Amino acid sequence: MRVIKLGINTAMPTCRPFNTLLPEFRAGRDTPRAALERHLQEVAGMDALVRAFRSLDVAAARRDADAATQRWKAGAPLSEIDGMVIGVKDIIDVAGFPTRMNSPVFEQTAPAFQDASCVRAARRSGAVILGKTETAEFASGNSAPTRNPHDLKRSPGGSSSGSGAAVGAGMVSAAFGTQTQGSILRPASYCGAVGYKPSFGVLPLSGIHPVSGSHDHLGALGASVADTWNLCRAVSDFCPGAGHKGLAGKADPVRPARVAVMRMAAFDELEPGCDAIFEAMLGRLSDAGVVVDCSTKAALPANLVKILNGIFDASSGMMGWDMRWPYAGYAARWPGLLGEKITGLLAQAEQTTLAQYREWLSLRDAALAQLVALRNTYDAILMPAASGPAPKGFAFSGSRSFQVPWSFMGAPAWSIPGLSVAGLPFGVQIAGFVGGDDVLVGHAAWLEQALVQ
């Protein structure tokens, strides 16, 4: 296999992916407690500036890491994530931690009395929960206080800001995130992490504060495809989303035979030089034996592109309609305490009719029909994961144009680090077909190897 090397930023201190430590644990040359201490060194050295964490419980993490160490020494680990140090986005309940959601409404809230289902599943598999990571307001409004670990003057992306920054800086091996429009894939791209947004509904949302019932996805960010997948597999094995069979299989690399490049209007938003870097990457994938179809003239890809170019108002409109509960109640109870974006979505929802909402659902059905029609022709779809490196400043957390299609359709997608622009991370997005997560993970793992080895 030909290896692609396109300017990875190697200056950022990172801990090794957790999956690469498992042979060391088995041989007794390393331990989960030692791995935790390495992560804590990164936290001590960086988090005062990066501000990835809302709250920490180092003592509990050390106890859990010690317990994992004993299980590995006894040859009886609970799973492939036993001892993995993780963060949890602060819209997800963790017993003993307040869920503040970066909102003054919940600043004085009491600690949660039980874990969200995903957190409980991670604990049962041996994960070590270090703390709660920062989020944009209610995962949809004002920016988090987090800074990009690669450049403190730049956004980490939202809304899983702290999760992306914590992984990108090596403070944790993986972290739970959520995505309503672009909230996993965008921070993953900006922070140099792997990001995985599963098919809609595959992972449970119980214990997670809602944003939009039609768009919300639970997923993860990690130091590798394997780490990210293994964390999500642990959740799925314990409690898949209602009505879903759950995830299956391992993150073993499988080269895709044929991929489509969906050249949507979003490509017009690419920062200078990014399109050329992306095209060079496509050429090298072709050299590695992948058939790369960049044609926009073929009927099926062109039809899908046409629909996807028109979904953005529909996506935001559906969000606002869905957010009437509980946010309209918050606005009435605490006037003036909700951010401008959330207030605007609620105002838009007041002008939305059920007939309009049904039209948006029909548009989604049309997009899905076109996507399904591609399934027998392509193994996956490639696009940039974002419009470029992280933007400067913190008022704007970056365009969502490259991520919204997969949230809107509910199809699985990964952001894979491997490209860089002026030393800053720039991810590649590989997307698949609804319910095809088990296949897509193999292609994502192959792309990871092709980009960074």
Q: Which residues are catalytic?
A: 89, 159, 183
| Distance in angstroms (rounded) separating the CA atoms of residues 4 and 252 | 19
DSSP 351-363: T--HHHHHHHHHH
Q: At 182, is the secondary structure helix, strand, or coil?
A: coil
| Distance in angstroms (rounded) separating the CA atoms of residues 398 and 203 | 26
Q: How many CB atoms lie within 10 A of CB 118?
A: 29
Distance, CA of 187 to chain centre: 7
Phi, psi at 347, each rounded to 5°: -65, -40
Cβ distance 169 to 405 under 8 Å?
no
| Distance in angstroms (rounded) separating the CA atoms of residues 155 and 165 | 10
The structure tokens 């030089």 sit at 273
Cα atoms in the Cβ-side hemisphere of radius 13 Å centred on 258: 8
Report H helices in 239-377: 274-287, 299-308, 312-322, 329-333, 340-350, 354-373
Fill in the amino acid letter for 447: L
Q: How many CB atoms lie within 10 A of CB 189?
A: 32
Cβ distance 240 to 203 under 8 Å?
yes
Strands 424-431 and 217-222, bridge-based pairing: unpaired
Cβ distance 204 to 147 under 8 Å?
no
Q: How many CB atoms lie within 10 A of CB 354?
A: 8
